[in-house]
Amino acid sequence: MSTREIFDGRLEAALLLAPTAIVSAVFLYYPTALAFRTSFFESGFGRAPEFVGLENYVSLLGNPEYHSSVLISVVFAAIVVVGVIAVSLYLTFLIHEVDAGQGWYLISVIWPYALPPAVGALVFLFMVHPTLGVLTGPIEALGIELDWFNDGPQAFVVVALAAIWKQIGYNVIFMIAAMKNVPDALTETAEIDGVGRLRRLVSVYVPIMTPTLFFLVIIDTIYAFFGTFAFVDLLTSGGPSNATNVLIFDLYREAFSFFNFGTASAKSVVLFLVVAVLMAVQFRLTEEYSYYGA
Amino acid sequence: MTTITLETLSKEFDDVVAVNGIDLTVRDGEFLVVVGPSGCGKSTTLRLLAGLETPTDGEIRMDSRDVTGAEPKDRNVAMVFQNYALYPHMTGRRNITFGMNAAGSFTDEEIDRRVAKAAETLDIADLLDRKPQAMSGGERQRVALGRAIVRDPDAFLMDEPLSNLDAKLRIQMRAELTRLHAELGTTTVYVTHDQTEAMTLGERVVVMDDGRIQQVDPPQALYDFPTNRFVAEFIGDPAMNMIDVELEGGAAVHDAFRIPLPAGSAEGETGAGTEPLADPDAGGRRHAVLGIRPEDLHLARERPDLGETTFDATVEVTEPLGDSLLVHCSIGNETVKMGAEPRSSLEPGGAVSVGYDPERLHLFDPETGEAFYHSATATAPADRAEPVVTD
């Protein structure tokens, strides 16, 4: 029994909880359980599911294409998370330091986040399209031959850049709030002591912002694995030659292009496990290094 | 060792004038306290000195160097803040060395040597490996002082450094600051709103109000010869009693009393803008405000030595302070506060006969608030300067 009586009765508490509980159950827990179950079946479009035990997992273990997809996803996530955090942190610092027009800088940094992912992907496509892109000319003027429709590594970089660009706004919103919470006196002490600007960012602001930064690392990791589907789908469709075939896109194609629901479900369970393990590691690190105020 | 000179220094924030054209010289090695109520511009003045604010007008010089537009780091000053401003994620040692490391102008051995010396001076050796959250307020402020002194700055700037400490610790740290200053002899500008702190610490005290300097003097001179009503009422606790009187034939006349004014110093050496007490403009009568500190009023029966002249008052409230009794009483339609012996038995509503110290009377102009008469003859104000300790 609860020691605090907040609600008049259990009925009231249950009613208030119901919408969230129902939505979570119908759209989250039930599909999760179903995916887990389906991963043990050979299941296709218009065919009766047939129980195959662990066969789907075993075949994934022996599939080199899938291995490379896992590797690509992890590398992609690492690049996106590090890139988003680093770029957002620096942009936040610049906005924090500037005296005039802070609001305008903030808006211009945040707006890509306000776009739906698909629109963001299309905007980015028109910016760096190999022949039509607005930025293609200037980039090629630097001596880089832009050919990411055919060049795998270039396509990987383009998708990663698009994913970073889209997520910066979200990070900046949290980071600017955290940075503004650093007491002014610390900034002033650092200024009087002659501590350089970057040193101040890295040695004073970042340690104090760690709770926010760890939260963002978690959110950005989830984003990198799950939220970047639209960029892969609209920019490269996983190509060229599977160079951008990240897990989330790979399992989508498995399910809805090849209609191998069993294999796709097994892939989604593996993706879930990969992310879960990474989360566990991150939470452990958070406990160890995060600074939670005096 | 540095002399700091401010010339017609002003700072405006939008339409608020925080500092209004002040002139001030902080002498080499001096402990100067700037005191005033909230919003008087004292902290802004200190921040202008530190370079954390840019003056709207005027000039700041350190020795002969014009530092008005210089970056904080190029001024070689150290600042101590009210909230300590320790980096919360760094140990005491790292807090002290971080600025030196970052500035890059010290070798590791030099840093170690200085930290050891500062730790010894401030008795903080056992705090060096602790983080601020594991320190008490007093310990934090000591570490913050350590951070200030290791850099051997030209001047210390202290912004209410003791305000966050409890009363007992504050008194202890006050004594330590005095000792530290005697030992280091570094020019120090100390800002506070606490007049007791100002009186006890300052070799000279600057009283500010409304962005302007009201008076600069050694503490005792400030107390004995306030230049205007603001200073008179701000310095001293409880505040000086102010009574409207008429001046007539060398006496202050009120409905309830007539106090003869001794020759006094009609132009006390600390009193600015003084006018002769005798021969006022019109018809020998003149309005004035008589200022008498509560501790200069006594029950006539307790101090018969103070003279014949007494006046009647009615006791309203008594406040026992332990070492004395503070009596609120009414004289005519004025309420005044006065000191009495701690165990005097006084009943509210009772009539008492009040005597005063004729040496401690002040007169202020009712319009301008300027002091124009102090009954004490101004002698050279006692200089409170500490003997200089040299290594």
pLDDT digits over B120-173, tens only?
A: 888 899 999 999 999 988 899 999 999 999 988 999 999 999 988 888 888 988
A191 closest CB neighbour out of B73, B98, B147: B73
Instruction: Report how many domains make up chain A.
Output: 1
Query: Are residues B42 and B185 part of one domain?
Result: yes
| Arithmetic mean of pLDDT over chain B | 86
Question: In Å, how far are A79, A93, A178, A287 from A292, measured between CA atoms?
Answer: 27, 21, 12, 10
State the CATH number of the domain containing residue A104. Answer: 1.10.3720.10
pLDDT greater than 90 at residue A112: no
Domain boundary among B178, B196, B224: B224
Query: Are residues B40 and B68 part of one domain?
Result: yes
Bridge-based pairing of strands B351-356 and B155-159 is unpaired
Closest Cα in chain A, distance from residue B151 (Å)? 9
Whether B81 sits inside 8 A of A207 (CB atoms) is: no
Q: What confidence tier does B316 reach under pLDDT thresholds 50, 70, 90?
A: very high
Query: Are residues B24 and B158 part of one domain?
Result: yes
Which pLDDT does position B280 carry in this prediction?
A: 45
- Interface with B, mutate which of A189, A199, A206, A213 (most B CBs under 10 A): A189
Domain annotation covers residue B383 = no
Smallest CA-to-CA distance from B163 within B35, B342, B324, B337 is with: B35
Question: In Å, how far are B258, B259, B263, B300 from B309, measured between CA atoms?
Answer: 8, 7, 16, 9
| CA count, 13 A, side-chain hemisphere, B256 | 20
Least confident of A111-125, A170-184, B68-82, B304-318: B304-318
- Interface with A, mutate which of B79, B81, B87 (most A CBs under 10 A): B87
Cis amide linkage into residue B262, ω under 30° from 0: no
Closest Cα in chain A, distance from residue B84 (Å)? 8
- Over range A59-66, report the average pLDDT: 89
pLDDT greater than 50 at residue B335: yes
Question: In Å, how far are A81, A155, A246, B232, B384 from A167, measured between CA atoms?
Answer: 9, 18, 18, 62, 64
Cis amide linkage into residue B276, ω under 30° from 0: no
Which pLDDT does position B250 carry in this prediction?
A: 83
In 3-state terms, what secondary structure has residue B352? strand
Domain annotation covers residue A25 = no
Domain annotation covers residue A123 = yes
In degrees and rounded to multiples of 5, residue B178 shows phi and psi of -60, -45
**pTM of the model as a whole:** 0.80
pLDDT greater than 90 at residue A289: no
Q: What confidence tier does A292 reach under pLDDT thresholds 50, 70, 90?
A: low
Query: Are residues B365 and B333 part of one domain?
Result: yes
Which pLDDT does position A89 carry in this prediction?
A: 96
Domain annotation covers residue A218 = yes
Q: What confidence tier does B266 reach under pLDDT thresholds 50, 70, 90?
A: low
pLDDT greater than 80 at residue A6: no
Could you report the per-residue pLDDT of B23-79, keeping only the tens digit for each? 999 999 999 999 999 999 999 999 999 999 999 999 999 998 999 989 998 999 999
Query: Are residues B304 and B200 part of one domain?
Result: no
Which pLDDT does position A47 carry in this prediction?
A: 78
| Amino acid of residue B165 | L
Query: Are residues B250 and B219 part of one domain?
Result: no
Query: Are residues B14 and B144 part of one domain?
Result: yes
Domain annotation covers residue B380 = no
Nearest CA in chain B to A294: B133
Share of chain B above pLDDT 90, in %: 55
For residue B76, what are its two tokens? Answer: 């070689």
Domain annotation covers residue B76 = yes
Domain annotation covers residue B385 = no
In sign, the C-alpha dihedral spanning B191, B227, B213, B24 is negative
Instruction: Report how many domains make up chain B.
Output: 2
Domain annotation covers residue B381 = no
Q: How many helices (H) and strands (E) does chain B have?
A: 8, 21
In 3-state terms, what secondary structure has residue B81? coil
Query: Are residues B321 and B188 part of one domain?
Result: no
**Residue A143 contacts B where some CB pair is shorter than 8 Å:** no
- Over range B166-192, report the average pLDDT: 91
Q: What confidence tier does B285 reach under pLDDT thresholds 50, 70, 90?
A: low
Query: Are residues B282 and B328 part of one domain?
Result: yes
In 3-state terms, what secondary structure has residue B302? coil
Task: Sheet containing B65-66: give its strands across.
Answer: B16-26, B4-13, B57-62, B65-66
pLDDT greater than 70 at residue B113: yes
Query: Which of chain A's residues have a Cβ under 8 Å away from the Cβ of B43?
Result: none
Whether A194 sits inside 8 A of B85 (CB atoms) is: no
In 3-state terms, what secondary structure has residue B91? coil
Range of the domain at B66: 4-224
Do B328 and B318 contact (CB within 8 A), yes or no?
yes
Do B350 and B327 contact (CB within 8 A), yes or no?
no
Least confident of A48-52, A164-168, B62-66, B225-229: A48-52
Residue carrying structure tokens 């110290």: B357
Interface contacts A/B by beta carbons within 8 Å: 68
Q: Which residues between 155 and 184 in chain A have a beta carbon less than 8 angstroms from any beta carbon of chain B?
A: 183
**Which residues are bridge partners to B315 per DSSP?**
B329
Q: What is the CA radius of gyration of chain A?
A: 23
Find the length of chain A. Answer: 294
Residues A213, A219: Cα–Cα separation, whole Å: 10
Query: Are residues B175 and B271 part of one domain?
Result: no
Query: Are residues B370 and B258 part of one domain?
Result: yes
> ∠ at Cα B143 (B142, B145), nearest 5°?
65
Share of chain A above pLDDT 70, in %: 97
Q: What confidence tier does B375 reach under pLDDT thresholds 50, 70, 90?
A: confident
Range of the domain at A155: 64-289
Could you report the per-residue pLDDT of B202-215, keeping only the tens digit for each? 999 999 999 999 99
Which pLDDT does position B264 carry in this prediction?
A: 67
- What is the crossing angle of helices A102-114 and A152-180, to 10°? 130
Which pLDDT does position A9 carry in this prediction?
A: 79
Least confident of A132-146, B16-30, B41-55, B234-248: A132-146
pLDDT greater than 80 at residue A242: yes
Q: What confidence tier does A245 reach under pLDDT thresholds 50, 70, 90?
A: confident
Closest Cα in chain B, distance from residue A182 (Å)? 10
Residue carrying structure tokens 């740290």: B173
Residues A105, A108: Cα–Cα separation, whole Å: 5
Other C-beta atoms closer than 10 Å to the C-beta of B112 total 13
pLDDT greater than 70 at residue A115: yes
Query: Which of chain A's residues have a Cβ under 8 Å away from the Cβ of B77?
Result: 192
State the CATH number of the domain containing residue B339. Answer: 2.40.50.140
Closest Cα in chain B, distance from residue A199 (Å)? 8
Which pLDDT does position B267 carry in this prediction?
A: 46
Residues B216, B24: Cα–Cα separation, whole Å: 9
| Arithmetic mean of pLDDT over chain A | 89
Q: How far is CA B367 from the centre of its chain?
A: 25
Domain annotation covers residue B110 = yes
Domain annotation covers residue B391 = no
Domain annotation covers residue A48 = no
Share of chain B above pLDDT 70, in %: 91
Which pLDDT does position B271 carry in this prediction?
A: 39
- Interface with A, mutate which of B48, B71, B89 (most A CBs under 10 A): B89
Smallest CA-to-CA distance from B254 within B337, B329, B334 is with: B334
3-class SS string, B108-174? HHHHHHHHHHHHHHHCCHHHCCCCHHHCCHHHHHHHHHHHHHHCCCCEEEEECCCCCCCHHHHHHHH
Query: Are residues B347 and B206 part of one domain?
Result: no
Whether A199 sits inside 8 A of B132 (CB atoms) is: no
Residue carrying structure tokens 């905007």: A123
Smallest CA-to-CA distance from B144 within B198, B92, B201, B216 is with: B92
ipTM of the complex: 0.79
**Residue A288 contacts B where some CB pair is shorter than 8 Å:** no
Residues A74, A259: Cα–Cα separation, whole Å: 25
Do B22 and B196 contact (CB within 8 A), yes or no?
no
pLDDT greater than 70 at residue B373: yes
State the CATH number of the domain containing residue B152. Answer: 3.40.50.300
Domain annotation covers residue A252 = yes
Which pLDDT does position A3 carry in this prediction?
A: 59
Whether A203 sits inside 8 A of B71 (CB atoms) is: no
Least confident of A253-262, B234-243, B298-307: B298-307
Domain annotation covers residue A57 = no
Choose from A173-177, A272-276, B70-74, B270-274 the range with maximum mean pLDDT: A173-177
Other C-beta atoms closer than 10 Å to the C-beta of B226 total 28
All residues at 6 or more sequence positions from B20 whose CB lies less than 8 Å from its CB, including other chains? B10, B41, B210, B211, B212
3-class SS string, chain A? CCCCCCCCCHHHHHHHHHHHHHHHHHHHHHHHHHHHHHCCEECECCCCCEECCCHHHHHHHCCHHHHHHHHHHHHHHHHHHHHHHHHHHHHHHHHHHCCCCHHHHHHHHHHHHHCCHHHHHHHHHHHHCCCCCCCHHHHHHCCCCCCCCCCHHHHHHHHHHHHHHHHHHHHHHHHHHHHHCCCHHHHHHHHHCCCCHHHHHHHHHHHHHHHHHHHHHHHHHHHHHHHCHHHHHHHHCCCCCCCCCCHHHHHHHHHHCCCEHHHHHHHHHHHHHHHHHHHHHHHHHHHHHCCCCC
> ∠ at Cα A29 (A25, A33), nearest 5°?
135
B85 closest CB neighbour out of A185, A195, A199: A185
Q: What confidence tier does A144 reach under pLDDT thresholds 50, 70, 90?
A: confident
Residues B370, A178: Cα–Cα separation, whole Å: 50
Domain boundary among B190, B224, B258: B224
